[in-house]
A = this chain, B = another copy of it.
Amino acid sequence: MLSDRKKKILCAVVDSYIERATPVASKDIRDEYLPDCSSATIRNELSTLESMGYLIQPHVSAGRIPSEKAFRFYVNELMYESNLTTAEAEMIEQYLNRKVGSLEDVMTAVTHIIAEITNYTSVVVKEDMSDTITAIKLLDLSNGKLLVVIVTDSRVLKDGMVDLPDDFDERMIASAQKWLNKIFCGKHVSEFINFDYPFALVNDEFAQYNALFKKIIDVLKKVSLMNGMDVEMYGENKMLAHSEYANVENARKFLSEMEDKERIAEILTNDGGEDGSTTVKIGSEENAPEGCAVVTTRVSLGDNVSGSIGVIGPVRMNYRKVLSVLDKISEIIIDLVGKGE
């Protein structure tokens, strides 16, 4: 457990680093955050904080910068909540209320306003799982692969591929198909997502189908996820304004990571969560883009339609601001969606 003073100092380092992006010196902390103790004392504390893994010293005559562990701790325990300025809050209200229209328009508007206010990249993912499954077909491509086709009421065909075990014949494929249809037909696509392969379902007769079934259901999951997904992104370029991307190589890497919308969507959605819940992924912690943190808020957009609103910024992002912006936005969205029904 950290002493109160250590916490204060750590918080000071993080705050200062978020603002200035330069190593923080003991004297700076004294002058700006802790006037009632000497820089030498702070140096001692910094030194132990470093050995605890919270701080990093780029070189001996530089100050300290926070480690990812420090950011994590900051987000979880140190950071005090803040409110948007009324100007910002009004700006958001106005912007979103002006744009009441289709869900797509709102999504676009949301990414824009977030990116403008935060100066980071903003992403909104909509997962529409409201389609009803009409049929599931398994097609033997006779090259050892099986094509999985999902037919839904919105007449969209969705397909994916599975490797077929050697010892499967036509008859077995047919009965696998029968089983799948029996389980899923008439249900929402969302069933796939939460479907936990029930072991009991597989009696002795079907033991051999076990592996294949699992594979197929995984494909169904993935395919239906991808097809019901809509990703909007805005403000990739805003990132170039931050010092992390002062050299083009980093910028290029970031922008090309941003091109993989599927991966980004996956990052925003992979830990479900309640309506209104917020997640922060920092740096290498999860699959976040290199050197980035991702803040996500979940909102429900209707029956079987859920949304994730995210901000992607450097690990050194202004979490306070981002969190309060997301708070405000999700509040408005929930309100809008509520009205719409």
Residues in A lying within 8 Å of B, measured CB to CB: 236-237, 240-241, 245-248, 251-252, 255-256, 259
Contacts and interface: CB of A to CB of B under 8 A. Distances in A.
A157 to B, nearest CB: 12
Given A237-B252, A240-B248, A247-B248, 13 more contacts: A236-B255, A237-B255, A237-B256, A237-B259, A240-B251, A240-B252, A240-B255, A241-B252, A245-B248, A246-B248, A248-B248, A248-B251, A251-B251
Nearest to A249: B240
A226 B73 CA distance: 49
Contacts of A246: 248
Number of copies: 2
Contacts of A255: 236-237, 240
Tell me whether chain A's interface is mostly helix, strand or loop, or mixed. Answer: helix
A79 B261 CA distance: 40
A255 B248 CA distance: 13
Which of A246, A247, A251 has the largest number of chain B CB atoms within 10 A? A251
Contacts of A251: 240, 248, 251
16 contacts: A236-B255, A237-B252, A237-B255, A237-B256, A237-B259, A240-B248, A240-B251, A240-B252, A240-B255, A241-B252, A245-B248, A246-B248, A247-B248, A248-B248, A248-B251, A251-B251
A240 B259 CA distance: 14
A236 B247 CA distance: 17
Contacts of A240: 248, 251-252, 255
A261 B193 CA distance: 37
Nearest to A242: B248
A125 to B, nearest CB: 20
Contacts of A252: 237, 240-241
A237 B240 CA distance: 12
A159 to B, nearest CB: 13
